[in-house]
Structure 1
Amino acid sequence: MSDRNQTQESPEKKAAGIYAASLVKSGDKVGLGTGSTVAYTIKELGRRIREEKLNVVGVVTSYQSEAIAIEAGVPLTTLAQMPELTIAIDGADQFDKNLMAIKGGGAAHTREKIVSMSAKRFVVVSDPKKKADVLSVPVPVEVMPFGKELAVRQLKELGGKLVLRAAAKKDGPVITDNGNFVIDCDFGEIQNPKELAARISQIPGVVEHGLFMNVDEVVIGKSDGSIEILKK
């Protein structure tokens, strides 16, 4: 069994993902994020649609989530058709005590941010290991290929140690669903996420960064199947 499959079968992620699906009500328009924890949410929504006649429609943030939703039987729409969503559910790479989060491990953070900002309520699903007193994991930054060199120079000026994310099974960099590169920027402990987010956003060629300031609540799954909920 691969490490990836072990992660997908995590009881913590399963507990958080399934609980998040219980927050969805009939008539809701649901933003569906990307990653192994949200996969449990999407599959549980599919079960509720089949068994409970739940009436919902989803907007996905990646081709990966689209495939899972189609297989699960979750009806899909687009932001063009449904620009205002009831709730968005997504994972995170890390979150702090103020519910500020870093996302983008799946290179879908631009679409994830658009979807989460389109929702009245943004719920992050996670396992306990993602909680931190201070954000410290690398911040993914999606950049246009044309602006990569300028972005690299200015991100370094902000104190980042940069790695252009490489594709896993082919030569060359990861290409996002939007046709751009992802630069993972290690800033160490981020004492002021809001200030850093604002400064990264000012760099020409940066499409979006993985610092999320709009999380309303976090659902943390435990190994015994219980959950903990953190709210602002």
Structure 2
Amino acid sequence: MEIVILGGRRQIGRLAADAIEQLLRRKPEAVLGLATGSSPLPVYDELAARHEQGLDFSRASAFALDEYVGLPAGHPESYREVVRREFTNRVNIAPENVHGPDGRVDDIPAACEAYEQAIAAAGGVDLQLLGLGTDGHIGFNEPGSSFASRTRIKSLVEQTRRDNARFFNSLSEVPHHVITQGLGTIMGARHVILLATGAQKAQAVRDFVEGPVAAICPASVLQFHPHATVLLDEAAASGLKLADFYRHTYENKPAWQGL
């Protein structure tokens, strides 16, 4: 797991966009894994700007990490709409190539299995973007989630609902259930880039980067991933004991290695 500490959100957005651009130029039909929330927004802004300069998404496809259960079609805070608004409508990726879990179906287990099959049929995710919850969750895999879990329905802990209430008019509007890719699904991506900024993420960052691999901190499973990159600002990295080592390693990294 590579830890990169940068000056702020814009630098993080540029570096993550660099990795996605390099992937698309090497493999135009790449499969991208898309996260929502505030963490990936600088990445999407940077990619949209690069698309205006010629970066082509026409052969790419994408799979969203998760979706709320029960929100009506077209709800502005459904992740299907957020992904469209913040990213896919701003580039030339084909709408039919953008996929997300369906939180409105009656048979949720069947929909989850179908989503897993769709990811497999696409050849798997080449690069997965992730945010980080203040309790260490990735996707909506809350503490206690199985490391082998696949796409499924999950109940949100109250901390997550409170964290997400800023996107709704009130806490009462935040759904109690979601469909999320599982930790096992996420671990199947060939490259994972996790983004975390702000002092409120420092404890979770320290726990998953330097703590034990444990279900109480779902993101810690990334310690086992063969190609995981963690992009942090100084505030999010403030609890890391080995921060100076991570800085030294990145500053002296051979240019040919890439991200």
TM-score normalised by structure 1 residue count: 0.49
Identify the structure with the greater strand proportion: 1
> Which structure dedicates a bigger proportion of its chain to helix?
2
